[in-house]
Structure 1
């Protein structure tokens, strides 16, 4: 009877978590759209816009290790709710400033920093709590539904923001975000984050671990997990080398191919649709049997897609054909990213001990956040010197080489010991 009640509660968590994420992500997307347009419209400065991005990225990178320590040390539910309340107050403060003194860049930047810090704490805490909220058989469903909500928000948020911008005042955008945040707090407060958790109980009188000791323990734990290290290295290579795509895509389509802004927007919409459809598919199908093999094949596909972006620079194409190619590539990219990320995340959720999840996920976030801006800066420099097509193709080949080495057959056998030597090649072909 108790087991039945726990499963019912897990089902409640599944939907509450998804709805909460959808509402908060939607509010965040509408807010981000409005603030971005406001900065560009008021200042006309790309530097001012970039400063807002820096105010979002740098705090995440710096605060993630502390968030990981806190998530493993204290109540994850308390951290999530506190972070959400802090976000609400930050937006409320910006709303008050806009109504009394008018919006300023300083107020926007300060709010962005606070929101970046709170989202880091809540993001690491949520990532570490999945296995405590739902039963093991539905972890993939939970991760997929989470991604579905983010994809819905990514499609709908900018669309709603675009319709509203210019017809309503900035305070209305802030009120929408505040309302979404308050609803998120209410929904999260009804969830039991310890339902399936396997965290060790603190023994009275046991010497307390300092923050530095705790972080060292997290690194020591990671060193003993060769599969996790391989997964993290793959993620880091993807984050860094994908800078070639992040910088080059808009540059090639707008500057080189002279694509219409509406058509460019449609290609980016195809990316979100690809993510959404694959998230729905993975939420309905059984769990992927060999996630590392699926991830390996997926990263190889990502590499091919990235290299294919250069095709119109190598082979002259009619405008319609070129547009169709980019819609197809962006749809495939969105779908492939979900096919890589979701099974890998499920694998990590199951492999990492509950007591170390916060620190491991924060290490991954810190390194990823550090490499993404670095990759963008380096590739921005390279695109000014070398032909775009060779940068994309070269980065694609480097990524293929990296994943073939990091996810070589011996690593695959460690991750999936049920596969014998003779079965690895066959499994790589099936990957399910």
Structure 2
């Protein structure tokens, strides 16, 4: 039996095991992500190759997330999470034996594709579990805690990962990550959630058609505000992914020529900013409204302008590094506030029987623009490697314009 939703206790049995599993999973995920970023950039020295691999790896998640949402609403969510985390650990372990080798970039690309397929089914399942465990004010607090766990993991792993990767190399990171996934699967075995098996035998094609019809009617007719928020997030993610995910490591490692330790410190600082952002959502939960999200977007755009100016002024490497660090940390704080509040808002307006599907659309729509952003910005940073301000400043101004135009869009 699942715990009753009127229970005001935040750290219930289910939620505690979910958080512990997320801690282990995220530590492994972030460690692997950091190590692979450093490894690919060191092997190729190209932002385009780096961006291309990340973009290709995201396509399965974009295409399959809606089906992951259908599965999350029709199957036992606990069993789905256990199976997917076990398969993730097994995939990383096998990849560890293939890297480094003469075909290591191919092996890394294959691993990223496999993890993307598994993530397409796991992400909406995890998000659908939270409102099944919590309700009311605890739902916002629970999402904030999940966000904080992710932020703390991103705070710890880059700094430790930079030392671990520099001293021991890439292969031990694979083995450690696989252990983290296996631990997560073990912890998730203790989660107890209600699940009612469907008694009717319906063709798979009919199930998919019916589920998509019901969920799209809900988004387009009953809650168009949610759809507006998703479309805005998808548009902004093109710029956020391009500048933060591709641009920031490329600027630090390739343009400025700094070590992986410098990048690790920067990632840890951004983790602190992300934790601060989710804490602010908890503190200001009753004062934040959807229309305030445009301020976050404008702030993000403003922060990119000084980053570009830093490469125009005759500054040395370290001052430029500090400017990038401060501005991108500010961006991370805003992005954390945006995502935490937006997810809680969507969950609070979505009925439980549609939760998996709607949350899958959250991931699908928000990620649709990311591969395009990664490829576009990878090419832009390669082309303007001697004048990166031609990329940063126009991007910042364009995001500010989107933020200004979204004021009435979010009312």
Partner of 1:242: helix, strand, or coil? Answer: helix
- Counterparts in 2 of 1:246-257, with a 5 A limit? 246=244, 247-249=246-248
- Counterparts in 2 of 1:108-127, with a 5 A limit? 108-127=108-127
- 1:146 equivalent in alignment to 2:146: yes
Superposed displacement of residue 192, structure 1? 2.9
Partner of 2:349: 351
- 1:61 equivalent in alignment to 2:62: yes
CA distance in 1 between partners of 2:376 and 2:52 (Å): 18
Q: Is the 8 A contact 2:273 2:330 kept in 1?
A: yes
Superposed displacement of residue 130, structure 1? 1.2
CA distance in 2 between partners of 1:321 and 1:32 (Å): 27
Q: Is the 8 A contact 2:144 2:340 kept in 1?
A: yes
Higher RCO (CA < 8 A, seq sep 6+): 2
- 1:276 equivalent in alignment to 2:275: yes
- Return the TM-score normalized by structure 2: 0.82
Partner of 1:376: 374
Superposed displacement of residue 251, structure 1? 5.8
Deviations 1:242-273 (A, max 9, x none): 355245545666677x4644655544432222
Q: Is the 8 A contact 1:133 1:192 kept in 2?
A: no
Deviations 1:54-102 (A, max 9, x none): 4522221222122122122222222111211221332343356679x99
Q: Is the 8 A contact 1:294 1:340 kept in 2?
A: no
- Counterparts in 2 of 1:256-267, with a 5 A limit? 258=256, 260-261=258-259, 263=262, 265-267=264-266
Q: Is the 8 A contact 2:74 2:197 kept in 1?
A: no
CA distance in 1 between partners of 2:68 and 2:180 (Å): 23
- Counterparts in 2 of 1:311-330, with a 5 A limit? 311-313=309-311, 316=314, 321-330=319-328
Superposed displacement of residue 188, structure 1? 1.5
Deviations 1:271-292 (A, max 9, x none): 2221123334545x36344330
Deviations 1:17-70 (A, max 9, x none): 2221111111222233444555566x5575775564345222212221221221
Partner of 1:309: helix, strand, or coil? Answer: helix
- 1:213 equivalent in alignment to 2:207: no
Partner of 1:427: none
Partner of 1:415: none
Q: Is the 8 A contact 1:139 1:346 kept in 2?
A: yes
Partner of 2:130: 130
Q: Is the 8 A contact 1:237 1:399 kept in 2?
A: no
CA distance in 2 between partners of 1:31 and 1:69 (Å): 29
Partner of 1:421: none
Partner of 1:223: 220
- Counterparts in 2 of 1:15-414, with a 5 A limit? 15-37=16-38, 44=44, 46=46, 52-94=53-95, 104-165=104-165, 167-168=167-168, 172-194=172-194, 204=199, 209-224=206-221, 225-243=223-241, 245-246=243-244, 247-249=246-248, 258=256, 260-261=258-259, 263=262, 265-283=264-282, 285=283, 287-313=285-311, 316=314, 321-382=319-380, 384=383, 388-389=388-389, 391-408=391-408, 411-412=410-411
Partner of 1:79: helix, strand, or coil? Answer: helix
Q: Is the 8 A contact 1:234 1:403 kept in 2?
A: no
Larger radius of gyration: 1
- Return the TM-score normalized by structure 1: 0.79
Q: Is the 8 A contact 1:155 1:272 kept in 2?
A: yes
CA distance in 2 between partners of 1:113 and 1:346 (Å): 29
Q: Is the 8 A contact 2:155 2:270 kept in 1?
A: no
Q: What count of residue pairs does the alignment treat as equivalent? A: 401
CA distance in 1 between partners of 2:188 and 2:214 (Å): 30
Q: Is the 8 A contact 2:64 2:120 kept in 1?
A: yes
Superposed displacement of residue 374, structure 1? 1.0
Q: Is the 8 A contact 2:234 2:367 kept in 1?
A: no
CA pair 20-68 structure 1, distance change in 2 beyond 3 A = same
